[in-house]
Every structure is written in structure tokens, then in C-alpha cells.
């Protein structure tokens, strides 16, 4: 059981104050058009809190991750918001979770190093490091915060020999996000660090952890199929991500939502080859050093184990070779803790004077806090977020396209088209083709719009938006059967999209399938009750019967 003294309460209050001083201004940020609306604001599971929504949270993927407990926490946001979602509430609660994770990190680091000063400094660095800004202030990163909180609580209870509580916390962590399934190996390494024998008895006590990991690992694979065969690519990009994350720990600059990789993924690429060689060399060195000091080997192995599950996420879309990204800051949220511990241990051992040591720690924490505050403002809104990506990584075709979309919404069509074309120059991709198609369609140039939608579908045959917008053109050409076929394919991908439902209703109406058309018009109104055009169409059909 965690016994909390007055001093610990004061420390918790200090960490909370520090987190909100650094990130507090981010409470004024907006939801960003990068999962927030689909995952939170418009998620059908989150519109009502009842047994059905709870059941759906535990029996579905959203859309590919199994995160039922994290989803349910958003109901608290909606309740506090008076039945509606408000970004300020969501970000505020995110910061509370981030504070909780930071305190749990402090608790675990203190037990691992058996040094209270080291534990406090590690917790403060973790709380205010700009690499953790994405997890702290991005509304959709709630799953990383909740799963990490229970992960560190499970680890901490294990170190206190409270196994039942530890197993319960691990279960809650996996229900929040499956990426924490490597905990059993982390616990074995903790035993090794503290020179506890790794024998049959110590492994036997890990059986419940391993069973949970296996069960949730299977659940994760069922929800996210597709990239299982890209073993070499995962290893090479994974090795590159290792140095990205470690580099950001010690040189905290150039943080962005996306870290694109537009070169060839092979051993012939020097950047990837040297990254892999570096991982191998460091692994050999730390094992040689382990004979005299286990800490470095423990930190390197624990870091590797915690970051490994993210290697399969090196893409940001269905096109593995078109949407390649080295990593995401939130993937390092758990993994860099052992690296931070080693860095603080080195400071503690290198500086004998407690006064100087405290001053150095204070300078580091304050500097990191300043950088984290600035980084949190990059999440102000969708436009600011993607402009920040292009500031550091202009070769991100996805960021180019998103900036183009925002420019178009603000009426800067010519500038938007330049961005879309730049996106295609970097790499032909369905997003840019689709948006150029939308522009041509708005101009009435349907033949060119059709060509662009088809180009998008050549690159990504499951790009639902291109199918949804291509269908009305086919319908106008007198090809209702072809239009219906492509809409059926799109419905499988985006069953609740109101534009798809409306287009399918009009296509069915053209084919004379009035009852089905009425059904789809009603489905549109379920999603958007105020749609005047749909109401008019429905009334015309009903009156005509």
C-alpha cells in the first residue's frame, strides 16, 4: 500500500503546479483534425453513457486499437462539459493524467535507484520534458496517458512486493492500450538490476503477467492486421527511431507531429545502416559494462523492450511505402524513462556537492519546462500543428496536404493548390490527388475531377473519400450501377459518413429502389438531423409514394 506523508503531499502539489504552469496555456488549444474529431467528438460510442456504449467500448476497436478504458474516460469530459465535448476540458484532464504518470514515474525511479533525490529529479524531468508534450496536450493521446499511469503503478507495486495490486494495475493498463504488454520482461530486468535471482520461482510469479500479455497481444493482432510481413523495414526504421528518441532526450529540439522518411528502406541506405550498427554496438558495449555496473545494461535493455512495440507503427496510412514515418513522440513516453534515470544517476555521481547538484537539476528542469511550454503551443490548432511539421520537415507530403486543406478553407485556393502539388512532388499520394479532385469538381471540371479521384484510388484502392466523391460523377454520366458498386465499397470503409449515405440514397433513388433510398435518407438524418436537403429529398419520396 502507498503510504503518503505530508512531505509527499507537498511534493505532489509541487509537481502538479509545475505541470500546469508549463502546460496550462495549452488548455486554450482546440481539438485538432488529427484523430480528435473521429476518436472523441463524433465517436458514436461517446455520445451517450449507458450500458450499450460501455459494451461497445469493450467489444470494438477504435478503429484498430483496443482501448476500452481510455474511451470511457472521455465520458467524464463530456459530463463535465455539460453533455458536450470541449477541448479545454479534455486537455485539462489530460494534464491531470500526465501529472499522475509523472508522480508514478517518480515513485518507481526512487525504488529502482533507492535514492529519493534521483527519483524526484527523474519525475520532474519526465513531467516537463518537451518530448512528452504530445502525450500531455494532444486530446487523442489519452490512451497513452491512462495506460502509462497503470503501467507505472503496476511496476511500483511489484517493486513493493504487492503482487495482487500490481497484476490488477497491469490489467487496467492493457485495457487502456495494449502497447504496455512488455511489462513482464521489464519486471524480470528489474529483478536482475537488484541482483534478485532469476530462477524458476521468480519466473513462476510472472505467469499471470505473461498470460495477460499473451491474451491482449492476440486482441491487438486481431485489430491491427496488415504489416506483419514487413520485418526488415520494421527493424531498419525501428533502429532509426531509437536514435531519434534518445537524441531528443538529450537535445530537445525539432519536435513535430510527423517525422517523415522519404528515402529507400534498405541496407543500402547509409542512414538506416549506421543506425542499426549503432544499436548493435551499444548493445555489445553495455553488456560488457554489465559485469561491473548493471545500470547501463538495464537501462538500454528496458528502453529497447518498451520501444519495440512501436516498431510496427512506422506508417501513417494503408500505403506502407508512401506514408513512412520514423516515429511519434508519444511512442517514447514510457521508453525513455530508463534513459532519464541513467542520466540523472550520472549527474548524482559526478557532482558531490548537493548545492551544485540541486542547481544543475534546477537549470535542466527549468530549461525543459520552457521548451515544453513552447512546444505545447504548437498544438494550438490543426494549422499551427502542421505548419510546425513543415518548419522542421518540409518533405512530409501529408503535412503539405493538410496545410493545403486549411489554406483552402480560409479561401486561399491558389496557395492550397501549390501545397497539394508540392505534396505530389514529394510522393504521389491519394490525399493530394483527392483534394485536387475536389477543387476541379467545385470548378465544374468533372472529367478532370474524375481522373484525379481515379489516380487517388490507383495509389490507395481503399481511399473511401475518393470513392464517395467519384460515385456522383458516375451517376451523372448515366452509370448508376457502377456508382452503387463503388458506394458499397466505400460504405464498408466509412459506414457512418453522411455524404456517403446521401450519395447512396440518391443512387438508389435513380435506380428506382425507393424503399432503400428512404432508408438511407433516414440514416443521413440520424447522423445529421438538421440536413435540409436530405429532409426535402425524403419528403419528395414519401409524397410520391
- HEC string of 400-458 equals HHHHHHHHHHCCCHHHHHHHHHHHHHHCCCHHHHHHHHHHHHHCCCHHHHHHHHHHHHH
Domain 476-483+490-545, second-level architecture: Alpha Horseshoe (1.25)
Q: Which residue has 506508417 as its cell numbers?
A: 315
In the chain, domain spans: 6-382, 476-483+490-545
Query: Rounded to whole angstroms, how far apart are CA atoms 259 and 278?
Result: 20
The pLDDT assigned to 225 comes to 54
The pLDDT assigned to 318 comes to 54
Give pLDDT tens digits for 485-507. 999 999 988 888 899 999 999 99
Contact 509, 517 (CB under 8 A): yes
Cα three-residue angle 88-93-99, rounded to 5 degrees: 125
The pLDDT assigned to 382 comes to 93
Contact 97, 86 (CB under 8 A): no
Tell me how far the alpha carbon of residue 343 is from its chain's centroid.
Answer: 27
Contact 120, 75 (CB under 8 A): no
Cell of 348: 548524482
Query: Rounded to whole angstroms, how far apart are CA atoms 215 and 219?
Result: 7
The pLDDT assigned to 232 comes to 84
Low-confidence ranges of the chain (pLDDT < 70): 1-4, 224-229, 314-322, 545
Query: Rounded to whole angstroms, how far apart are CA atoms 43 and 183?
Result: 30
Amino acid at each position: 500500500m502507498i503510504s503518503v506523508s505530508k512531505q509527499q503531499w507537498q511534493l505532489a502539489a509541487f509537481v502538479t503546479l509545475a505541470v500546469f504552469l508549463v502546460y496550462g496555456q495549452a488548455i486554450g488549444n482546440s481539438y485538432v483534425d488529427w484523430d480528435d474529431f473521429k476518436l472523441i467528438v463524433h465517436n458514436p460510442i461517446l455520445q451517450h453513457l449507458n450500458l450499450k456504449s460501455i459494451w461497445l467500448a469493450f467489444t470494438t476497436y477504435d478503429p484498430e486499437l483496443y482501448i476500452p478504458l481510455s474511451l470511457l474516460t472521455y465520458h467524464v469530459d463530456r459530463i463535465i462539459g455539460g453533455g458536450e465535448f470541449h477541448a479545454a476540458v479534455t486537455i485539462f484532464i489530460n494534464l491531470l493524467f500526465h501529472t499522475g504518470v509523472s508522480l508514478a514515474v517518480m515513485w518507481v525511479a526512487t525504488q529502482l535507484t533507492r535514492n529519493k533525490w534521483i527519483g524526484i529529479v527523474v519525475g520532474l524531468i519526465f513531467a516537463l520534458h518537451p518530448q512528452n508534450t504530445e502525450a500531455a496536450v494532444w486530446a487523442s493521446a489519452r490512451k497513452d496517458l491512462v495506460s502509462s499511469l497503470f503501467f507505472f503503478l503496476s511496476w511500483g507495486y511489484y517493486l513493493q512486493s504487492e503482487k495482487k495490486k500490481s497484476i490488477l494495475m497491469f490489467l487496467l493498463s492493457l485495457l487502456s492500450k495494449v502497447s504496455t504488454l512488455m511489462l513482464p520482461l521489464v519486471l524480470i530486468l528489474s529483478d536482475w538490476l537488484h541482483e534478485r535471482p532469476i530462477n524458476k520461482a521468480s519466473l513462476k510469479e510472472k505467469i499471470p503477467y505473461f498470460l495477460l500479455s499473451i491474451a491482449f497481444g492476440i486482441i491487438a493482432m486481431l485489430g491491427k492486421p496488415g504489416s506483419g510481413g514487413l520485418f526488415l523495414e520494421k527493424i531498419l526504421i525501428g533502429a532509426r527511431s531509437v536514435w531519434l528518441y534518445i537524441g531528443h532526450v538529450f537535445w530537445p529540439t525539432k519536435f513535430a507531429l510527423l517525422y517523415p522518411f522519404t528515402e529507400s528502406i534498405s541496407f543500402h541506405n547509409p542512414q538506416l545502416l549506421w543506425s542499426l550498427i549503432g544499436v548493435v554496438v551499444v548493445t555489445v558495449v553495455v553488456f560488457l559494462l554489465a559485469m561491473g555496473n548493471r545500470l547501463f545494461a538495464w537501462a538500454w535493455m528496458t528502453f529497447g523492450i518498451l520501444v519495440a512495440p512501436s516498431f510496427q507503427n512506422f506508417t501513417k496510412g494503408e500505403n506502407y511505402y508512401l506514408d513512412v514515418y520514423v516515429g511519434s513522440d508519444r511512442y517514447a513516453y514510457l521508453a525513455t524513462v530508463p534513459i532519464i534515470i541513467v542520466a540523472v544517476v550520472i549527474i548524482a555521481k559526478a557532482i558531490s556537492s548537493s548545492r551544485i547538484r540541486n542547481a544543475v537539476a534546477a537549470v535542466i528542469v527549468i530549461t525543459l519546462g520552457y521548451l515544453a511550454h513552447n512546444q505545447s503551443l504548437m498544438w494550438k490548432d490543426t494549422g499551427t500543428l502542421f505548419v510546425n511539421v513543415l518548419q522542421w520537415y518540409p518533405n512530409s507530403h501529408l503535412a503539405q496536404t493538410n496545410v493545403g486543406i486549411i489554406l483552402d478553407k480560409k479561401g486561399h485556393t491558389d496557395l492550397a493548390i501549390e501545397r497539394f502539388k508540392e505534396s505530389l512532388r514529394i510522393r504521389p499520394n491519394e490525399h493530394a490527388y483527392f483534394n485536387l479532385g475536389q477543387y476541379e469538381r467545385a470548378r465544374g471540371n468533372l472529367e478532370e475531377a474524375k481522373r484525379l479521384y481515379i489516380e487517388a484510388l490507383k495509389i490507395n484502392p481503399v481511399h473511401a473519400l475518393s470513392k464517395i466523391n467519384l460515385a456522383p460523377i458516375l451517376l451523372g454520366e448515366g452509370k448508376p450501377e457502377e456508382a452503387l458498386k463503388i458506394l458499397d465499397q466505400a460504405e464498408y470503409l466509412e459506414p457512418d459518413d453522411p455524404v456517403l449515405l446521401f450519395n447512396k440514397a440518391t443512387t438508389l433513388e435513380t435506380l428506382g429502389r425507393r424503399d432503400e433510398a428512404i432508408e438511407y435518407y433516414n440514416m443521413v438524418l440520424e447522423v445529421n438531423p438538421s440536413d435540409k436537403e436530405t429532409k426535402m429529398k425524403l419528403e419528395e419520396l414519401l409524397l410520391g409514394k
